[in-house]
Structure 1
Amino acid sequence: MIIRERENDFVMIEQKNHAQFAGDVIAQWKTTLFQGEELRKSVDYAIRMHDYGWEYLDKSPFWNDKKQVPYSLFDFPKAPKIIFYTYGIDEVEKIDAYAALLCSRHYIQFFLKDSSKESQLFLKQEEERKNRIIAALDHFDKRIFDFHYALLALGDTLSVYACVNEPGATKETIHPFFKKGLSLSEKLGLNETNMQPSWIDEETIALDIFPFEGSINSRMIQKVVSKATIMEKGLLDSYNEAEYEEVQISVKSSM
C-alpha cells in the first residue's frame, strides 16, 4: 500500500494499481531505444506484476499504532514483507521466468545492507533463483538485462512520484524525495543522469526528458478513507466500505 496523508483523510493506493501505472508508462518506451526487443513482453509483464505479492495483503491494510497511520510500503515490517515478496516472485515465475528474474532483482536491493537472518536468507534464496533461471535460459545477456531492470526501476519511481504527490503539486509542496528530480541509470543509454518531473495541472505530469513514443494516458486507482471513519469503525471496515476512484493522469514532454 502507498499512503498519502491529508488533513482529514488518507489516500490509499494498492501496490497492484501503482504497478499498472508504471506498466502503462514504460509500455510507451520508444522502440528505437529498446534493447532486446524479443524480451519486451517479459519486461512489460515484470513491470505490471512487480508488486503482485501485495495484491491480497493490500485488501486488508494494517494500522501502525506507533505512528497512528496505516502501514505503508515504506514502513511495513521487513520479516512479513519478505514473505510477500517471495510469494509474488514465485507467482510471476510460474508465467514468465525472465520477468521473475527482473522482479527478484528489484527486491534484493532493499536487503543488501541488512544483516538480519531473514534478510540474509532471502538474499541467498534469490541468488539461487537467479542462477537457476539463468541456467535454464537459452541465452542471457547481462547488459540487456541491466537495461531491462533500469526500465522497471524507472517505471516504479515515476509511478511512486504520481502516488505520493497530490495532483498539481508545486515545487514547494512536492514530496522531499523528489526535490532534486529523479536519478536516471546509465544503463538506459540516454546520456542523462537526472529527470525532472513536474505537475503542470491536476491531471498532467511533464518530463523534461521524454524517451517515449508520445503522450501517455493512464489512471491511478485509489481509495480516500476518512480519518474520522477510521476512528469510528477501524481501518479495515473503513477501507472496505470506501469506493475505488479513478484519477486520470497524462504524462507528456515539457519541451
Structure 2
Amino acid sequence: MIIRHESSTELHFYRQHDHGIISGTLATYLQDRLLPFPNAVRDQWLTAVRDHDIGWTELDEEILWDEEKPEPYQFEHYPALAKTRAYERGINQVEKQSILAGLLCSMHLSSFFEGATSLLPEERNFLNKEHQRQEQLYLQQPLTKDQLDASLHLLQFCDHLSLYICQNKPGSYKINEFPWYKEGFAYRSGALRNHPILGWWTDENRVVLHPFPFKSSVNVLMPYKRLEKEGLHPNNINDRFHRASVEYLTVQFAPIEEEDVWQKQF
C-alpha cells in the first residue's frame, strides 16, 4: 500500500496494483522514439509495466500496523518476508503471461535490493533466486542486453511517474515534494538529449513534464481511499478501510506551456 499523509488529520491509501495500472496507461502514450525494443515485443513490455506490482494485490486487502511508528506500514518498510513473497508471487504471475515481461519484473523488483550494504536473510534469498531466474529467462527472450537494460529503465520511469502522483500532495510546490523527485526523474534517453525530465504540479489536477515524453497530454484516474487519523488504531483500521468509499484523483500529464512559470516552484 502506498500511504500519503495528506494532512495532519488525514491519510490517503493507494493500492499498489492500481498504481501499476496507471504506469501501464502512461506507457502506452510514450513517443515511439523512446522505445528501445522492436514493435513485436511492445505488448510484452507493456504487460511488465502494468503488472509489475500485481503481487501486492493480496497484501493490499489487509493493512498492517507498524507498532514502532505507530502508523500503517508504508510499502518501503513493509515486513521483508511478506513483501519478498509477494514480489515472487507477482513475478510468477507475469512470467506465465510473457517470459520477457517476467524477466523485466524480476529485474525491476530485484533492483530494490542490489547494492544494499546489508540485507535480511529473506531479502538475500529473494535476490539469489531471482538472479537464477533471470539467467534462465534471459536465454529465452529476444532482446539484446542493451535493449533489455533500456527497457527496464523505461519501465522504471513509468513506475516513478505514477508514484509521483501518489506520493506528492496534488498541487505541491517543488520544494515540498517527496525527496525522490525534487531534482527530476532518473530516466535518461539519447532521444531527449539525455536531459533529466522534470515534473511539477501547476495545480491540483495537472502535472507538466519537460522534456515531454508522450505523444500527447495524458489524463489518468487514480483510485484511492481516505481515512481520518483520529481514533485510528490496529484494531479498527481494516474495518474503516474496507468501509471507506473509493475516490478518484484526476491528473493530466501535459507539456509545458508559456504560462507555466515553473521556476516559482523551487
Question: How many residues of Structure 1 are paired with residues of Structure 2 in the alignment?
Answer: 253
Task: Return the alpha-carbon distance in structure 2 between the equivalents of residues 198 and 117 of structure 1.
Answer: 39
Task: Return the alpha-carbon distance in structure 1 between the equivalents of residues 122 and 170 of structure 2.
Answer: 38
Task: Return the alpha-carbon distance in structure 2 between the equivalents of residues 247 and 77 of structure 1.
Answer: 28
- Structure 2 unmatched ranges of 5 or more: 258-266
Q: Structure 1 vs Structure 2: percent identity of aligned residues?
A: 29
Aligned positions of 1:99-178 closer than 5 A: 99-112=101-114, 113=116, 114-137=118-141, 139-178=142-181
- Whether the 8 Å contact between 1:229 and 1:238 is mirrored in structure 2 is no
Task: Return the alpha-carbon distance in structure 2 between the equivalents of residues 120 and 57 of structure 1.
Answer: 21
Cα deviation, 1:121-171, whole Å, max 9, x if unaligned, reads: 21221111112212233x331111112111110011111111011111113
Task: Return the alpha-carbon distance in structure 1 between the equivalents of residues 27 and 143 of structure 2.
Answer: 22
What residue is the counterpart of 2:221 in the other structure? 219
Task: Return the alpha-carbon distance in structure 1 between the equivalents of residues 175 and 128 of structure 2.
Answer: 43
CA shift for structure 1 position 177: 2.6
TM-score (norm 1): 0.93
Q: List structure 1 segments (4+ residues) > 4 angstroms apart after TM superposition.
A: none
Task: Return the alpha-carbon distance in structure 2 between the equivalents of residues 81 and 49 of structure 1.
Answer: 16
Cα–Cα, structure 1 residues 9 and 115, in superposed 2: closer, same or farther, change >3 Å? Answer: closer
Task: Return the alpha-carbon distance in structure 2 between the equivalents of residues 233 and 136 of structure 1.
Answer: 48
Task: Return the alpha-carbon distance in structure 1 between the equivalents of residues 214 and 93 of structure 2.
Answer: 29
Aligned positions of 1:203-218 closer than 5 A: 203-218=205-220
Cα deviation, 1:3-59, whole Å, max 9, x if unaligned, reads: 101211110000011111111111101123322221110111111100001011101
TM-score (norm 2): 0.90
Cα–Cα, structure 1 residues 224 and 249, in superposed 2: closer, same or farther, change >3 Å? Answer: same
Cα deviation, 1:208-234, whole Å, max 9, x if unaligned, reads: 111211000111110001112524961
1:3 aligns with 2:41: no
**Cα-Cα RMSD:** 1.7
Task: Return the alpha-carbon distance in structure 2 between the equivalents of residues 216 and 175 of structure 1.
Answer: 22
SS in structure 1 opposite 2:208?
Answer: strand
Equivalent position amino acid for 1:145 in 2: L
Task: Return the alpha-carbon distance in structure 2 between the equivalents of residues 32 and 179 of structure 1.
Answer: 26
- Structure 1 unmatched ranges of 5 or more: none
Select 1:62's aligned residue among 64, 69, 73. Answer: 64
